[in-house]
Amino acid sequence: MESPISRTNLNCISLADPDVQKSVALLKQACLDSGFFYVVDHGISQEFMDEVFSQSKKFFDLPHSEKMKLLRDEKNRGYTPMLDEILDPENQVNGDYKEGYYIGVEVPADDPEANRPFYGPNQWPSKEVLPKWREVMEQYHREALRVAKSVARIIALALDLDVDFFDRPEMLGEPIATLRLLHYEGKVSNPAKGVYGAGAHSDYGLITLLATDDVVGLQICKDKNAQPQVWEYVAPVKGGFIVNLGDMLERWSNSIFRSTLHRVVLDGRERYSIAYFVEPSHDCVVECLPTCKSESNPPKFPPITCSAYLSQRYKDTHTDLNSYNNSKA
pLDDT digits 0-9 by tens, 186-227: 889 998 898 988 999 999 889 999 999 999 999 999 887 888
| Residue 125: other Cβ atoms inside 10 A | 22
251 vs 303: CA distance, rounded Å: 9
The mean pLDDT value for 1-17 works out to 77
- CA atoms of 119 and 283, how far apart (whole Å): 13
Q: How far apart are CA 227 and CA 246, in angstroms?
A: 23
In angstroms and rounded to an integer, the radius of gyration of the C-alpha atoms of the chain is 19
Distance of alpha carbon 238 from alpha carbon 259, whole angstroms:
24
Q: What pLDDT shows up at residue 310?
A: 83
- By CB neighbour count within 10 A (0-12 exposed, 13-18 middle, 19+ buried), where does 324 fall? middle
Residue 190, phi then psi, degrees to nearest 5? -145, 85
Q: Does residue 328 surpass a pLDDT of 50?
A: no
What is the pLDDT, as a whole number, of residue 307? 85
Q: What is the mean pLDDT of residues 154-182?
A: 93
Indicate whether 115 pLDDT > 60: yes
Assessment of whether the complete model's pTM goes beyond 0.75 = yes
Q: Is the pLDDT of residue 64 over 60?
A: yes
Q: Which amino acid is at 320?
A: D
Whether the per-residue pLDDT at 291 is higher than 70: the answer is yes
Q: What is the residue-averaged pLDDT of the chain?
A: 90
pLDDT at 5: 65
**Residues contacting 28, CB < 8 A, separation 6+:** 158
- Per-residue pLDDT, 156: 95
Provide, rounded to the nearest whole percent, the portion of the chain with pLDDT above 90: 64
Architecture of domain 12-324: Sandwich (2.60)
Judge whether residue 3 has pLDDT over 60. Answer: no
Q: Is the pLDDT of residue 325 over 80?
A: no
**Any idea where the domains of the chain sit in the sequence?**
12-324
Question: Of 104-113, 118-127, 132-141, where does the model show the most confidence?
Answer: 132-141
Determine the average pLDDT of the residues in 125-135: 95
Question: Which of the 8 DSSP states describes residue 171?
Answer: I
Closest among 267, 244, 261, 260 to 195, alpha carbons compared:
267
